[in-house]
């Protein structure tokens, strides 16, 4: 289960406001706002400030549209309706919601359940706000996963319905929803012929084009063991990046750190990896991979990444070892 707090390890570097570009003056405009429970920053390169701000507003509207479809926290959304009818009846949804759910199930199949959108049904037996000082009982952990299992998410492509076959189940897109929103914001801007920009969904980032000076967007990945130190700088034009990590949101009990990212099959926090950054074409897919690698661990996670050669990675273990390709 992702949390936007850890996303602050990804930072954008050196924006230049007005420079010659393609033979004409270009401006770079950015705006921050809270969407999907997280801080989004939208950056647009356009011919003038007014046009840039108009397109930033269009991206914000698109993300709000998505949130009003897939949020499990807003009672009027289609996903909330699906969750309310768990064990009762299938719910017809928009094709966009159906397809996103189908992809999430494909990610679960690909990772043998390390990725699972039904994990939000877990009882809240873990707390990562600093208040937890004792481990939950084994019985409590076992009970917490009773309503988790992607194989109980039943899709009917003919009727375009989603049915959660076990009462008490829930699904949510905290793990890939912001990445999907970043991808969709970028797609909208490309459709509108905006030459360049970034949609930064609290660290799930989609980029296109270049800075006004013609250089790629530079995105720095912080070193979780050294404050204010950059582990690696990624240069992107048409690409995306996502990071999952354990070092800013965790519980420390008896000298051991327990990450906020939970293994859906065991109910216990992921261990062994401090941060995973994935970059490639899609922010949604990069985030699915980064979350899965955190759960799978270094060996199995690296094997998964080898099957996805269009995505590059930087992994840092709890011992400070860095693995990248």
- What are the structural domains, with CATH classification, of the chain? 4-70+176-324 (3.10.520.10), 78-164 (1.10.3980.10)
**Residue 248 contacts by C-beta under 8 Å, 6 or more apart in sequence?**
5, 6, 8, 9
Helix (H) or strand (E) holding 95: helix 95-110
User: To 10 degrees, the CA torsion angle through 107, 112, 115, 116?
Assistant: 90
Tally of CA atoms within 13 A in the half-sphere of 160 that contains its CB: 10
Which residue, among 2, 6, 8, 3, has the nearest Cα to 219 in the 3D structure?
8
pLDDT on residue 304: 98
Angstrom distances, CA of residue 103 to CA of 71, 81, 108, 176: 17, 19, 9, 10
Q: Look at residue 70 and give its three-state secondary structure.
A: helix
Angstrom distances, CA of residue 319 to CA of 273, 274, 275, 297: 8, 8, 11, 13
Helix (H) or strand (E) holding 277: strand 273-280
pLDDT on residue 249: 77
Quote the CA–CA distance of 226 and 33 in Å, as a whole number.
29
pLDDT on residue 259: 80
Q: State how beta strands 196-201 and 18-21 pair.
A: unpaired
Please list the rounded mean pLDDT of every run of 10 residues in the chain (325 residues).
45 39 73 96 97 98 98 97 98 98 98 97 85 91 94 98 97 96 98 98 96 95 85 96 85 82 93 94 98 96 97 94 92
Q: What is the pTM of this model?
A: 0.91
């Amino acid at each position: 289960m992702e949390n936007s707090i850890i996303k602050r390890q990804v930072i954008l570097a050196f924006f230049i406001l007005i420079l010659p570009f393609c033979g004409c003056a270009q401006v770079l405009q950015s705006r921050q706002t809270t969407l999907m429970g997280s801080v989004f920053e939208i950056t647009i390169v356009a011919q003038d400030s007014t046009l840039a701000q108009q397109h930033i507003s269009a991206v914000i509207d698109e993300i709000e549209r998505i949130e009003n479809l897939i949020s499990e926290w807003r009672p009027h959304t289609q996903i909330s309706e699906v969750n309310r009818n768990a064990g009762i009846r299938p719910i017809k949804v928009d094709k966009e919601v159906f397809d996103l759910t189908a992809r999430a199930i494909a990610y679960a199949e690909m990772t043998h359940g390390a990725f699972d959108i039904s994990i939000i049904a877990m009882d809240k037996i873990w707390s990562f706000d600093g208040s937890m000082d004792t481990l939950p009982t084994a019985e409590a952990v076992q009970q917490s996963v009773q309503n988790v299992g992607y194989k109980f998410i039943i899709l009917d492509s003919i009727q375009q319905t989603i049915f959660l076959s076990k009462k008490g189940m829930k699904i949510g897109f905290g793990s890939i929803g912001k990445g999907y929103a970043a991808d969709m914001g970028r797609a909208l801007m490309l459709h509108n012929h905006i030459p360049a920009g970034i949609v930064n969904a609290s660290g799930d980032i989609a980029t296109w084009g270049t800075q006004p000076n013609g250089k790629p967007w530079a995105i720095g990945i912080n070193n979780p063991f050294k404050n204010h130190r950059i582990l690696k700088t990624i240069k992107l034009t048409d690409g995306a990046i996502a990071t999952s990590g354990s070092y800013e949101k965790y519980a420390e009990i008896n000298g051991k750190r327990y990450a906020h990212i939970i293994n859906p099959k065991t109910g216990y926090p992921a261990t062994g990896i401090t941060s995973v950054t994935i970059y490639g074409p899609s922010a949604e897919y990069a985030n699915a991979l980064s979350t899965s690698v955190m759960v799978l661990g270094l060996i199995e996670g690296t094997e998964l990444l080898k099957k996805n050669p269009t995505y590059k990675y930087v992994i840092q273990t709890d011992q400070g070892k860095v693995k990248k390709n």
